[in-house]
Amino acid sequence: MGTIDTHFRADLSVDFCGIKAPNPFWLASAPPTDKAYNVIRAFEAGWGGVVWKTLGEDPPAVNVSSRYSAIYGKNREVLGFNNIELITDRSLDINLREITAVKEAWPDRAIVVSLMLPCEEHYWADILPKVEATGADGIELNFGCPHGMPERGMGAAVGQVPEYVQMVTSWCKKHSRLPVIVKLTPNITDIRQPARAAKAGGADAVSLINTINSITSIDLDRMVALPTVGTASTHGGYCGTAVKPIALNMVAEIARDPATQGLPISGIGGINNWRDAAEFIALGAGCVQVCTAAMLHGFGIVEQMKDGLARWMDSKGYRTLADFSGKAVPNTTDWKYLDMNYKVIARIDQDACIGCGKCHIACEDTSHQAIAKLVDPASGARRYEVIDAECVGCNLCEITCPVQSCITMVPQQTGMPYMNWTQDPRNPRAEKVPTAA
């Protein structure tokens, strides 16, 4: 591992809805934040904050064994991670005492306490003063857990009903002075609806995404899904690298929704490195939460995250996170507003090409037959060239090519002005474009 350079101009500190932390990298509410031992190790490693694993009513939840499964790529790289673990299985008193002690020992780090309780106001009114007494910086309402707890009327069962989201959020604002972060479930048709409800209830911020309902695989010998508990299994919560595109889209949907404009967002989902974090921040996140990457690689990954983000910010001239937070939001729009006259064509770098033919096979079999296979009759050498007139700029060849930057998509000068689908004469419902007087 290379030396970590600590001499940067970039300031990674955050003030997220009034919660201050030395950097935007927080551990999400999950097994890594289950108890003081883990959290102290995380702070010693350099994490800026944690969301303490979800607290509930006593007696605490009871978990099963086994709990995790995964989807693997090459060399057993974990692409997606599935879990059926519930909220904390330790007593409320033990958790509260440990939160108090850790916050006293680490006053500069953010400690947010995740909560999940039945949808009756008295439960929330009872626990909130106890949490506030720990010195915690904020609370996160777990409205996203997709397994086990929804069967009891909690978790995603609340997050899928905007009226419940607003109701419980308003109770928490009524009974606590701490910032209230609402954690949203992705297991819903339109993520904007619960986000709007959270804001209407007085939420100081939202965090997303929680895990996605999933069954990762089936043991075809035993005919049961993984993870297997005895002779049966159940759906769990899916997270890790595979969910990042879904998470980015949902963060963007909230960031560009006029009804939730300006609502602070904590980004969660598939964050493995500094670049992933920067992408979430560019789409409007004020901080990010990490779980799966820490579980797979340990708490030490945060140093490379901080180092990489600071180096990139320095290279771009960004002094603070606010300098680029949300900068990608104005460039994220509905399909109908994309430029119909924009055109790109694939170009193959013949010096870099290894002649594998993957681009030709992909285009010939499944796309637009726009890459010709040329064979030298004398030597038998293969060469692949783009047929410009047939290329629609779909990017498939670039994606399938095993050599980075061998195939590039080159913008073409069409000589035509911007025109979106609402203006396109090929659209039977096109709007008339105003003409100059």
Return the active site residues: 145
Residue 81 structure tokens: 């991670």
2/197 Cα distance (integer angstroms): 46
Q: Please state, in angstroms and rounded to a whole number, the distance separating the CA atoms of residues 28 and 50.
A: 6
Other C-beta atoms closer than 10 Å to the C-beta of 67 total: 15
Q: How far apart are the first and last CA of the chain?
A: 65
Identify residue 65 by its one-letter amino acid code: S
φ/ψ of 424, rounded to 5, equals: -70, 125
Residue 167, Cβ density class (10 Å: 0-12 exposed, 13-18 middle, ≥19 buried): middle
Rounded CA separation 284/304 (Å): 22
Q: List the one residue out of 415, 417, 411 whose CA is nearest residue 340.
A: 417
